[in-house]
Structure 1
Amino acid sequence: MTTDSINRSELLSFAWTIARQELWSRCLLASQLRNLFPNALRRAWAELKRRAAITAERAKQTVRPSSGIWADIQTLENRTTLGHEGINQLAYLQRAYHDACQREAEEKVRAEMEAKRRMIAAASGRFVSVTFTKKDGSDRCASSLPTSSIT
């Protein structure tokens, strides 16, 4: 994770927001806001670094196959204790696994459709008959006639 991804304007705005909230929660005078800012800036910096690290981790894990995510889930579930961090990580991995399974299913359907399109295009005007199995298990036959024979 690099600090280049942190917007400095956002950092300072966030730090001032934290300082104002601290001033309000402690019921201090407005003149003491400047004294609260250094600590607020450190807290804002730490929070934005944490967010950038989470974003980088999620971007890295979005391309992982479901089998790798499943292995990580099994590793976490087989621990004797998880703790708060482990529970959060497990919940995140379960969501990532669900997303990866969906993505892989969509890619499989897309690849099958592309193979069918290539096969029909390869016929280039000849008779083509393709039998598909529908979701309910019944067969459907799709035929194509040459364009010269259609009147």
Structure 2
Amino acid sequence: MAKPIYVLNGPNLNLLGSREPEVYGKGTLDDLRQRCERKAKALGLKVDFRQSNHEGELVAWIQEARTDAAGLIVNAGAFTHTSIAMLDALLACPVPAVEVHLSNIFTREPFRHRSYISKAAEGVICGFGALGYELAIEALAATISPGKAG
């Protein structure tokens, strides 16, 4: 069986739908998971969708992806702006990664303008809400299986 795309979500994304819906939208994390699964299925792929509020767990999942995933989509939440540990794990991971953010981090508070993990990403998608995850799946599909992107 083909390896899945890991979709890793960081702190507070479990609160989607209730936390600042004017910034992050009204959809829940489960709604986001379902969108990702539908998009991946349409492209002949599978996703392994996860969320953690713990930096170490996210790092362990990135390390796991070294052998068990075809690609990574990472929304590190606030760890985007603080986690050298996640950057180091991503740099050590040979599979392609896309950084995703629901909001446009460059139109928000200045501390959000810096991403530590971008250096390890093939690309960054921000500001398109849940659609950004679907775009990331398409980008990875094109990267890992040329001709599969929609």
TM-score by structure 1 length?
Answer: 0.21
Which has a greater percent of strand? 2
Compare CA radii of gyration and give the structure with the larger one.
1
TM-score by structure 2 length?
Answer: 0.21
Which has a greater percent of helix? 1
RCO higher in structure (CA 8 A, sep ≥6): 2
